[in-house]
């Protein structure tokens, strides 16, 4: 049984003790504000909430999933239904920090760090693209739907490769993003359900209401 699966199956009291009561409350950084976009590629930052289901020949479990993505930082959290943080992975300035089971680990490679500590793999480097329905230049798209959205892809440069299926789509923050994804790699299967996705922008780059009103008045006065 892998380490993360063990944590998810531990009785609540032991979880609370072993995790040192890490809070799962996640709030959007104050320098970021919600925006609407036409395409996900227009969002330099976003946050999402959803669920992650993991299935292997030995185990299956599910957790809540939170992800904050910016141009310089990724924050990935898995939490219980009661809001206790099981795992927190943050990458920033070329370093990754993993907090799990009351301990903190650091490494320059987030994927390697997660695999070393938990014993299994989540493609954390590729997920920000896949969660938003985008693909990298290294991905091989097998098929598209009638709206030119990817239906399935695989990663030929990885051994063994990941196979990704985009099962359902939805509109969030004005853009089309996946609602349900399935990832397969040998005997490991991950399902990600995106329940909330919010495009974000730096507060300094978004005009305030006063600025908009002032601009409107200036435009009106020049007519």
Phi/psi for 219 (5° steps) reads -60, -40
pLDDT value of position 120: 72
Given a contact cutoff of 8 angstroms between Cβ atoms, the answer to whether 55 and 43 are in contact is no
CATH superfamily of 3-221: Lipoprotein localisation LolA/LolB/LppX (2.50.20.10)
pLDDT value of position 144: 97
Give the range among 4-13, 97-106, 130-139, 166-175 with minimum mean pLDDT: 4-13
Kindly report, residue by residue over 151-183, the tens digit of the pLDDT. Answer: 999 999 999 999 999 999 999 999 999 999 999
Average pLDDT over residues 102-115: 94
Nearest to 123 by CA among 161, 81, 149: 161
CA distance 77 to 97: 12
What residue ranges do the domains of the chain occupy?
Answer: 3-221
Q: Where residue 31 falls among pLDDT bands split at 50, 70, 90? A: confident
Is the pLDDT score of 204 beyond 90?
no
- Cis previous bond, 160, omega within 30: yes
Given a contact cutoff of 8 angstroms between Cβ atoms, the answer to whether 181 and 191 are in contact is yes
Kindly report, residue by residue over 41-100, the tens digit of the pLDDT. Answer: 999 999 999 999 999 898 898 999 999 999 999 999 999 988 889 999 999 999 999 999
In the numeric block, which tokens belong to residue 87? 């795992």
* 3 state DSSP class of 213: helix
């Amino acid at each position: 049984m892998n380490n993360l699966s063990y944590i998810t199956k531990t009785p609540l009291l032991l979880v609370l003790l072993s995790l040192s009561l890490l809070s799962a409350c996640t709030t959007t950084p104050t320098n970021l504000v919600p925006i609407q976009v036409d395409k996900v590629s227009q969002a330099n930052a976003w946050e999402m909430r959803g669920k992650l289901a993991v299935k292997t020949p030995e185990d299956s479990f599910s957790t809540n999933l939170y992800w904050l993505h910016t141009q310089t930082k990724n924050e990935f959290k898995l939490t219980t239904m009661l809001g206790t943080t099981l795992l927190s992975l943050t990458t920033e300035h070329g370093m990754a920090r993993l907090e799990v089971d009351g301990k903190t680990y650091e490494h320059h490679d987030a994927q390697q760090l997660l695999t070393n500590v938990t014993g299994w793999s989540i493609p954390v480097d590729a997920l920000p693209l896949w969660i938003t329905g985008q693909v990298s230049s290294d991905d091989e798209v097998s098929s598209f739907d009638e709206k030119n959205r990817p239906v399935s892809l695989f990663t030929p440069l990885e051994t063994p490769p990941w196979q990704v299926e985009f099962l359902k789509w939805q509109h969030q923050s004005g853009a089309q993003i996946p609602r349900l994804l399935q990832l397969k790699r040998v005997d490991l299967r991950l399902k990600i359900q995106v329940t909330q996705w919010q495009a974000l922008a730096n507060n300094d780059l978004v005009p305030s209401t006063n600025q908009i009103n002032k601009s409107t008045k200036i435009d009106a006065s020049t007519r």
